[in-house]
């Protein structure tokens, strides 16, 4: 769906025939050019710079640096300090990503079903659920920070009423801290997934359901054998976009926990940021960043490769 490479060869009468190359229009090329050039400047040029910095000993607070060869790369793969934090942040990032995908896609799909009702009150409720999405994460974080305060937060106070007397240490507990961040990002993002699923559901022809009802299929069966397969392009779309944005998560962690307690919420981007700005090690931050890009690229590419075969497109 993202990329369907056009075949340049065709098999005619058992012989492989090379098609003539497609026609080249300069005008088409120039239409794509501005966007591509700007993206190269604002994203690829910095990455190229990171490659260069990874061979230096550049400290953030310094304006001068020397080239030190592979030192930082060796550090990345051998130093105890590197491996400790690297494996930790990779693990945290993956757990967060899986959790966030489950929440956004899973709950998003459930909500899409629940709110798949074209009446005014439902449309109003949908709008409300979508609302968190248009508040900046940096602001949402502050709201949650306050609601989740251990002793004075409204959530713990309300839990007190239902009998949870011990205040839950949402942001300080080893396991709950990440859950709290998932709560925040889930709250922020689920409405968006719901909307996209909903728009996909509306696109599915009623005929499928009517036909299967006549055959005596239950609602669950319809969901399993009609809805889910027909939603698979949507799911893939959401999966890829949510996957990438979850792997890049930073802002919510920054506002809520600052990576704590003891790196339990230190996701990759936060770790890289910490190396660069707390430890002032731009050089080390660069090698970790480059490794992270490779990981992200490999996973995304292989996901696309695998799923492209299993996605059902509506005719």
Partner 1 sequence: MKKLFALVLTAIMLLSCTALAEFDKTIPEGTSFVFWHSFTGANEETLLKQIAAFEAANPGIDVQEQYIGGYNVIHTELASANTAGVGVPALAVINVPRLTSYAKDGLVEDLTPYIEAFADEINFADFYDGMVDMMNNEGHQTALPFGQSGQIFYYNKTLLQDVGVEFPTKMEDMDAFLEKVYNHTGKTVIDIHGTDNAYFYCLFTNMGCFMIDTETNKTGLENEKALELIKKLREWVDKGYIKWVINDVGNTLMLDFTSGECAACLYTSSTYANYKKKAEAGENGITFEVGIANQPYGDNGTNHQYVAGATMIIPSADCNTQAQKNAAFKLICFLTNPAQQLEWATTSSYYVTRKSASTDPQYAEAYNALLTKLPEMAVLDLNSYVAKTKHELFDRCGDIFENYMSEIMANGMDPEEGWELMVEEINDTLADQ
Partner 2 sequence: MQATTRKTALPPRVRHTVGITVRTILAVLVTVIMVFPLYWLLATSLKTEAEVMSSTITFWPKVPQWVNFAYVVNKVPFFRYMLNTAVVTALQMTSELLLGVLAAYAFSKGKFHGKHFFFIVVLGAMMIPIQVTFIPLYIVIARVGLMNTYWGVWIAGCVSSYAIFLLRQAFMTVDDSYLEAARVDGMGKLGVLFRIMVPMCKPTMITVGLTSFMGGWNNYFWPKVIVKVQNMYVLTVGVQRLRTSYGGEITNNYHQIMAGVLLSIIPVFIVFALFQKHMLSGFTKAAMK
Considering only residues 242-261, where is the footprint of partner 1 by CB under 8 A? 257, 260-261
| Chain center to CA of 61 | 32
Among 11, 128, 214, 306, binds partner 2 (CB under 8 A): 128
Q: Indicate whether 57 belongs to the interface with partner 1 (CB under 8 A).
A: no
Q: Does 70 interact with partner 1 (rule: CB under 8 A)? A: no
Cα angle value 264/175/277 (rounded, 5°) = 20
Site string for partner 1, 161-200 (x = CB under 8 A): --------xxxxxx--------------------------
Q: Which one of residues 36, 68, 83, 164 is an interface residue with partner 2 (CB under 8 A)? A: 36
Chain positions 13 to 32 lying near partner 2, rule: CB under 8 A, are 21-29, 31-32
- 67 forms part of the interface with partner 2 (CB under 8 A): no
133 Cβ contact list (under 8 Å, min separation 6): 188, 189, 191, 192
Among 273, 281, 284, 287, binds partner 2 (CB under 8 A): 273
Contacts of 167 (CB under 8 A, 6+ apart): 150, 151, 156, 160
Q: Distance between CA 184 and CA 93 in Å, rounded?
A: 16
Region 193-232 residues binding partner 2, contact defined as CB under 8 A: 195-200, 202-203, 216-218
Measured from the CB atom, is 147 or 177 closer to partner 2?
A: 147
Q: Encoding tokens for residue 203? A: 């696109």
Place of tokens 């995304």: 300
Q: Answer left, alpha or beta for residue 214, where phi above 0 means left and psi between -120 and 50 means alpha.
A: alpha
Interface residues with partner 1 (CB under 8 A) are 59-64, 75, 79-82, 84, 145-146, 149-152, 169-174, 257, 260-263, 277-280, 282
């Amino acid at each position: 769906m993202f990329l369907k490479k056009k075949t340049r060869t065709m098999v005619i009468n058992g012989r492989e025939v090379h098609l003539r190359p497609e026609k080249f229009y300069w005008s088409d090329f120039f239409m794509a050019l501005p966007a591509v050039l700007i993206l190269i400047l604002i994203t690829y040029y910095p990455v190229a710079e990171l490659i260069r910095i990874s061979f230096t000993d550049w400290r953030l607070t310094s304006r001068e640096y020397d080239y030190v060869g592979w030192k930082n790369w060796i550090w990345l793969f051998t130093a105890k300090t590197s491996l400790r934090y690297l494996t930790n942040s990779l693990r945290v990032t993956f757990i967060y990503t899986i959790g966030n995908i489950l929440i956004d896609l899973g709950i998003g799909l459930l909500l899409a079903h629940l709110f798949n009702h074209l009446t005014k009150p439902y449309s109003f409720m949908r709008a409300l659920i979508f609302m968190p999405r248009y508040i900046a994460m940096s602001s949402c974080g502050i709201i949650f920070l306050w609601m989740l305060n251990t002793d004075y937060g409204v959530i713990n106070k309300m839990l007190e009423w239902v009998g949870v007397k011990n205040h839950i240490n949402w942001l300080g507990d080893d396991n709950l801290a990440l859950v709290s961040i998932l709560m925040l990002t889930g709250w922020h993002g689920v409405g968006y997934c719901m909307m996209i699923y909903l728009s996909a559901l509306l696109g599915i022809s009623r005929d499928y359901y009517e036909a299967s009802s006549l055959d005596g299929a239950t609602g669950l069966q319809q969901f399993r054998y009609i809805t889910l397969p027909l939603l698979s392009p949507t799911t893939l779309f959401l999966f890829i976009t949510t996957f990438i944005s979850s792997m890049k998560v930073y802002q919510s962690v920054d506002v809520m926990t600052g990576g704590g307690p003891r790196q339990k919420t230190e996701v990759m981007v936060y770790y890289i940021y910490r190396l660069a700005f707390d430890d002032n090690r731009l050089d080390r931050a660069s090698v970790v960043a480059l490794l992270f890009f490779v990981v992200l690229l490999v996973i995304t590419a292989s996901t696309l490769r695998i799923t492209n075969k299993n996605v059902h497109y509506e005719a």
